[in-house]
Amino acid sequence: MKIRMEDTTTSEVAKRITRLREAGGVVTLGRVLTLVISTDLDGVEKALDAANAASLEHPCRIIVLALGDRTAQNRLDAEIRVGGDAGASDVVVLACHGANAEPTEALVSALLLPDAPIVVWWPGVAPHVPSETPLGRLAHRRITDTAASPYAERALWARRDGHRAGDTDLAWTRLTLWRNQLAAILDDQDPREIRSVTVDGAPDSPSTLLLAAWLTQALRVPVTIAHTKRGHGIRAVRLRRHRGDIVLSRSQSAVARLYQAGRPVQRISLPRRTDQDCLAEELRRLDPDEILGRVLSEGLPRTDLEAVQASER
């Protein structure tokens, strides 16, 4: 069910939700958090597809700030979605124009669930320092996505400069399966045997750069990036050893192959992760991601980004 309210206020929207709840149409019991999404008008449905699917695991209230033309006349239109149109959540979409297109605490404060954590997600280009924005100051967890930027390296340096406890990025979350597999491989190795590492990935993928930075920070050996075609993501990781290289390689399928000297080739499930998968993972944890903080502050500056820099010039 969708209920539209034109030229309204957040106070009126909150009152309408209360009336719906009292009538039995909206149930806030069991909502574990408030998810605030800040995006433009064109990005609303894509963001909601991921958020609604993630809400099946994390029932929440979703507030979408659909930011329109800041030079237009001040106006706030709302749409309340419940039932089949809202996953396991209740959804409020606020179309913001004029001065309302500047996201502030006043736009969302009347709609936040009481005594529940607040997560803010910027699916598009995020503020330089998310924690210092009005929405960021409200949040227990702040989610950005450097993949929304056309320049992967510049976006990651911006995230490094603006990173604060409570920040995370979906480019990092997309690496969870790669990191899990590589950590399992490294558990069976003497790290002193690894001389260098090559990450084969697309230069426009911040996940490629973050994986290289993570390996740099974890192994303290030279890590270089051998880039493939743009748009193809991560293709392989090669760990060079005196007694034979270890290669974890994935083509366009969801199955990777692990090559190790003297052992049969192993087939490993390594599917590409959707925004839904990544968002659901981030909503499971509200504590600071200390590993990402170290990768940005320590690993990224020591990673060989020459190939990426050349591709961005």
Output the CA–CA distances (angstroms, integers) from residue 210 to 95, 203, 249, in the order listed. Answer: 34, 11, 17
80 within 8 A of 92, measured Cβ to Cβ: yes
DSSP string, 19-73: HHHHTTS---TT--EEEEEEEEGGGHHHHHHHHHHHHTTS-EEEEEEEE--TTS-
User: Is residue 313 exposed (0-12), middle (13-18) or buried (19+ Cβ within 10 Å)?
Assistant: exposed
Q: Who's near 219: CB < 8 A, 6+ residues apart?
A: 186, 191, 194, 197
Tokens of 63: 């507030």
277 Cβ neighbours under 8 A, 6+ residues apart: none
Note the pLDDT of residue 150. 86
CA distances from 227 to 86, 95, 181, 189, 190 (A): 40, 40, 21, 26, 27
CA angle in degrees (0–180, nearest 5) for 36-74-51: 20
- Strand segments, DSSP code E, in 98-253 are 118-121, 141-144, 167-169, 194-201, 223-227, 234-241, 246-250
In the structure encoding, which two tokens stand for residue 23, read together?
């009538």
CA distances in angstroms from 151 to 142, 156, 191, listed in the order given:
21, 9, 33
The C-alpha atoms of residue 173 and residue 157 are separated, in whole angstroms, by 17
What is the structure's pLDDT at 272? Answer: 92
Closest CA to 179 of 260, 292, 277, 275: 292
- Is-contact 29 74, C-beta < 8 A? no
Q: Contact at 8 Å (CB) between 206 and 146? A: yes
Q: What pLDDT is attached to residue 48?
A: 94
What pLDDT does 191 receive?
78
Residues in the chain: 313
3-state secondary structure of 94: strand
CB-CB neighbours of 156 under 10 Å: 25
Neighbours of 266 (CB within 10 A): 12
Helix, strand, coil percentages, rounded to 5, for the chain: 40, 25, 35
pTM of the model: 0.91
Beta strands in 68-201 (DSSP E): 75-81, 90-97, 118-121, 141-144, 167-169, 194-201
Q: One digit per residue, pLDDT tens: the chain, 313 residues?
A: 889 999 999 999 999 988 887 776 555 556 789 999 999 999 999 999 999 999 888 889 999 999 999 999 999 999 999 876 556 678 999 999 999 999 999 999 999 998 899 999 999 999 999 999 999 999 999 999 999 998 888 999 999 999 999 999 999 999 999 999 999 999 988 878 999 999 999 888 999 999 999 999 999 999 999 876 776 789 999 999 988 999 999 987 889 999 998 899 999 999 999 999 999 999 998 889 999 999 999 999 988 765 455 455 5
